[in-house]
Structures are given as structure tokens and as C-alpha cells.
Amino acid sequence: MVMSSVSQTRVWFITGSSKGLGRALAETVLEQGETVVLTARNPQQIEDLVVSFPNRTLAVQLDVTKPEEIREAVKQAIAKFGRIDVLVNNAGYGILGAIEEVSDQGVRRQFETNFFGILEVLRTVLPHMRQQGSGHILNISSVGGFVSYPGTGIYNGAKFALEGISEALAQEVTPLGIKITIVEPGAFRTSFVTRSLVITDIQINDYEIVIGEMRKGARDILDMKLDFKEPGDPKKAALAMIQAVNSDEPPLRLVLGEDAIYAINAKLESVKAELDAWREVSVNTAFDEVLVAK
């Protein structure tokens, strides 16, 4: 891991700056003397940061499902600071329910926010980074962008899609001086469950044996009946992301939390075991002359 020295104040553009990891990252970046474009659907929620750091902040209203707001936010950022060095696509939420239970509207809204909104932000900021010949993009995924779980399939689908385009994008823009990092957090002590989780209204009894306990636990947290202490420290997550941005060789994937590492390793081992077990069947799908030639 090679660390570079930061010679100038970078301009960070962070979506979803009002809460969770986005808020923790914005605060930490500002504390370290850098500049942040703070975006939120309700800019009043980030006004305290503007008051504390008036010369190094810009608060902009941004709902990532509204392309006109994305264009306006980026336009204001460039007009005020002249560049965007680090883009952090953090805005998003989760939906809890079996695949069959989530309404068409719920599926589309999940993808509009967690995938299409990020795609629109990317495609709006990239021309500026290409012109600069530099930049770093952090796409905030999740351990759920690599490992799927019952009850979060629609959320997983949107995050898997984000990781798919991020892998391709990294190969497209690295030669242009732009770096890509997919951030995969595990459970962090933020307001995600209480403020960013939607539980489906439709509940099919057959799925209760699979996701009933998860659904009950989420409802208890939402109703303040249960004090759930996630292991992850948002401040330390912010410092880890900054460390990745400071590195001359940042990772394509930055996994945050031992729980996330455990889950990803378990999946990798499972995939490898299944791949090996079915290798002969897989290989034998070639034409006979190809198999004989080998």
C-alpha cells in the first residue's frame, strides 16, 4: 500500500451528506482541512457544517432521482470551487422484504435511488474529471453488493448492479487518471435502520420462516423497542475511506468491518467449492473436437 502526500486542498462532492457514513465522512474531511460540496435532499440538515466551515463548504439540495438537481448541484460545485477531486456516491436506502413481496413501485424506486441515481451523478461528474485528467470516485456499495441475503434481494440487486458498472468503469477511466473504489461496509452504527430502511407492507406467510425474525428485529428497532449496537464505528470508516483516497494504489474494493470480511470470504469459498465440484460438467459443454484437441 503506497501512500501519497496530499499537496493541495481537494474538493469532495458527497451525496447523502446529512446522515450515516456520508455525514461522518463529510465531517472528517472538513476536520482535515479539505473542501466539501455537501448535498442532501434537505440542505437544512447540513447547515451546521456550513456554519462551522463557511469557507470550505457548499450546501446544495440534491435528490439523486432528479437529474435536473444533479446537473445543478455539479454546476454550482464547479462554479464555486473550479473542480471536483473526489466524488462519493453515498445516497441510498434499503428495502426489506422477500422478492415476491416488494411491489413494482418499490423495486423501481429502489433502483432509481441506489443505481440509476448514482449512474446519473457519475455521468455528470466524469466529463469534469476527464478534463482535469484526475479524480477519485467512491461508490458506496455494501457487503450486500457482494453477498445476497433473504429479505434484501431487491437491495442486493441494485448494489450488485452498481458493483458491475464500477468494475467496468475502473477499467475505462484508470488510463485517464481517474480512480474507482467500491466501498463495501458491513454493519455500522448509523441511522440506516431507523431512517433509511423501508419494510414492505405486503407480507406472505410462507416467507415468515425465512425472514420473519429479520423483519421483527427491524420493526423493533424502528419502534425503539430494541437497542441494536452495530459493531462498526462511522468515524473509523471515514478515516479508512480517506486513507484509500490518499493512497497511490487504492483498492478497487474497500471492505469495511470484520463482519463484511467474514461474509465475503465465506461466499468466495462457497463459489470456489461449487465451481470445482461442477467443473467437469462445465468443461464438457464444448464441441467434441474441441475437447479432443485439448
Residues 265, 211 share a domain: no
Residues 263, 124 share a domain: no
Residues 251, 263 share a domain: no
Residues 79, 25 share a domain: yes
Q: Which of 17, 18, 142, 155 is catalytic?
A: 155
Q: Is 141 a residue of the active site?
A: yes
Residue 217 confidence (pLDDT): 77
Q: How many helices (H) and strands (E) does the chain have?
A: 12, 9
Residues 26, 56 share a domain: yes
Residue 139 lies in a domain: yes
Residues 111, 140 share a domain: yes
Q: Which of 17, 18, 19, 141 is catalytic?
A: 141
The residue range of the domain holding 87 is 11-256
Residue 294 confidence (pLDDT): 64
Output the tens digit of pLDDT for each of the chain's 294 residues. Answer: 545 444 468 999 999 998 889 999 999 999 999 999 999 998 888 999 999 999 999 999 999 999 999 999 999 999 999 999 999 999 988 999 999 999 999 999 999 999 999 999 999 999 999 999 999 999 999 999 999 999 999 999 999 999 999 999 999 999 999 999 999 998 877 665 556 678 888 899 999 999 888 888 777 766 665 555 777 889 999 999 999 999 999 999 999 999 999 999 999 999 999 999 999 999 999 888 876 666
Residues β-bridged to residue 180 = 137
Q: Would you tell me how many other CB atoms lie within 10 Å of the CB of residue 172?
A: 13
Residues 191, 85 share a domain: yes
**How many Å apart are CA 242 and CA 12, to the nearest integer?**
11
Residue 3 lies in a domain: no
> In this structure, what are the phi and psi dihedrals at residue 252, rounded to the nearest 5 degrees?
-70, -40
Residues 112, 31 share a domain: yes
Residue 150 lies in a domain: yes
Residue 287 lies in a domain: yes
Residue 30 lies in a domain: yes
**How many Å apart are CA 57 and CA 50, to the nearest integer?**
6
**How many Å apart are CA 277 and CA 32, to the nearest integer?**
51
Of 6, 13, 7, 9, nearest to 78 by C-alpha is 13
Residue 98 lies in a domain: yes
Q: Which of 17, 159, 166, 179 is catalytic?
A: 159
Residue 226 confidence (pLDDT): 52
Residues 265, 249 share a domain: no
Residues 53, 34 share a domain: yes
**How many Å apart are CA 73 and CA 79, to the nearest integer?**
10
Give kind and range of the element (H or E) at residue 240.
helix 234-246
Q: Is 155 a residue of the active site?
A: yes
Residues β-bridged to residue 38 = 14, 59
Residues 46, 140 share a domain: yes
Residue 81 lies in a domain: yes
CATH code: domain of residue 251: 3.40.50.720
- What is the reported pTM? 0.90
Residue 6 lies in a domain: no
Residues 35, 91 share a domain: yes
| Number of domains within the chain | 2
What is the C-alpha R_g of the chain?
21
